[in-house]
Amino acid sequence: MQQGIQELLKNYSGILLLLFGITVGSIIGIVAPNIVDYLKPLGDIFLNLLFVSVVPLVFFAVANSVSSLEQQSKFGKIMLIMCFTFLFFIITAALFTILVVYFFPVSGVSASKEVVEDAVNNDSWGNRIVSFFTVGEFTQLFSRQNMLALLIFSFMTGFSARKAGEQGKAFRVFIASGYEVMKELLLMIMKVAPIGLGAYFAYQVATLGPQLFGFYAKPLGLYYIAGVVYFLLFFSLYAFIAKGKNGVKSFWQNAIYPTLTALSTCSSFATMPANLQAAAKIGVPSQVANLVIPIGTTLHKNGSSMSSIIKIYVAFLIIGRDFFDPMNLLLALGITVFVSIVAGGIPNGGYIGEMLMISVYQLPQEAIPAVMIIGTLVDPLATVLNSVGQLVASMFVSRFVKV
């Protein structure tokens, strides 16, 4: 009995400590909001350490996965199934949210008077497309703001290392070694996660908590209820398709840590190490997990898909237009897929997508504050759906690829 308890504590000590840190941080944020500004630097230091470590991990993980796949057909199959999975999950989340707002409409929403401080990016679409996929200097690749460019470079490096054959063997060994080293570094940094995430959570509760009960309560309540239902129901369904009843059990046993990390940091990027660890425990092959999770962190976002629909719906309520017009719904799905792809894995990173939405629908300026504020307030749950979605997606892909 005592040995069983010790084993339980050993297996769940990380989660229990993280829960303790988040709980303490939440209490501090509620009862002593005046001191959260002094605690926030602890959270920022932890996140900064995490970010600078995850960037090289992404490079080594993706490059190593590509270079270690010996069969060209196997690699192509993984990529094809991964793309199909991402698109299927994103559209399913969007359609589910459309049904929710149709059967549970929101009323009494009008424009906010707050001034938007974030400047709109006026670059041409050509320049934006170039910046999404490439950077002008090699050193710029290793910035979390250029994740898509880094993923493409990592993918090409791994492919080139594999094509180099015997002459590329030493480089492939270096990539594999680098991946193992970066995993150990991240495990070391995650030891202080309860302190860092607790401090960051205290700041979130103190700054965002009061707004949830004000003007945006109705659309936010709708999003959070729909998001929780989607999280529990659809992720369980995806896990069941992947590995049956045992897959559902294994998924929820190992999804706790990524969920708490995402909830605390509001960053899909910061949750990536927890997802990779969870995927290994579930039994997802490393060749699949090391591709699906890093690439999905940038290109696959269930939570952003749902929040995009909610934001478009609220913007239409503000200006008195019919959201459920067939053409508007088709545009909403198109925008949602795009937003889910371009929104980076960083806190509150969806502003480019929001500006795209305003532009496509030619919405008036008064709709911008409501859209941005809702985007910020739904970020915690959206990040959970985005981040943990990568874990269940890796299970889903592994179901159809035998590595």
Residues 260-315 have pLDDT tens digits of: 888 877 778 888 888 999 999 999 998 899 889 988 887 788 998 998 899 888 88
User: Rounded mean pLDDT of 141-162?
Assistant: 82
- With 90 as the cut, is the pLDDT of residue 388 above it? yes
pLDDT at 209: 67
- Asked whether 125 and 333 are in contact (CB, 8 A), the reply is no
In one letter, which amino acid is 331? L
Q: How far is CA 186 from the centre of its chain?
A: 18
Q: Two tokens at 378? A: 């739904």
pLDDT category at 171 given cuts 50, 70, 90 is: very high
Note the pLDDT of residue 132: 63
Q: Which residue has the higher pLDDT, 400 or 217?
A: 400
Which residues, other chains included, contact 371 with Cβ-Cβ below 8 Å and sequence gap of 6+? Answer: 311, 314, 315, 354, 357, 358
Q: Mean pLDDT in the chain?
A: 80
What span, in angstroms and rounded, lies between the C-alpha atoms of 349 and 128? 15
- Alpha-helical segments (H) within 210-301: 217-254, 256-265, 268-282, 286-299
Cα-Cα-Cα-Cα dihedral sign, residues 247, 248, 253, 257: positive
Residue showing tokens 């159809």? 400
What global pTM score does this model have?
A: 0.72
Asked whether residue 212 carries a pLDDT value surpassing 60, the answer given is no
Helix (H, G, I), strand (E, B) or coil at 338: helix
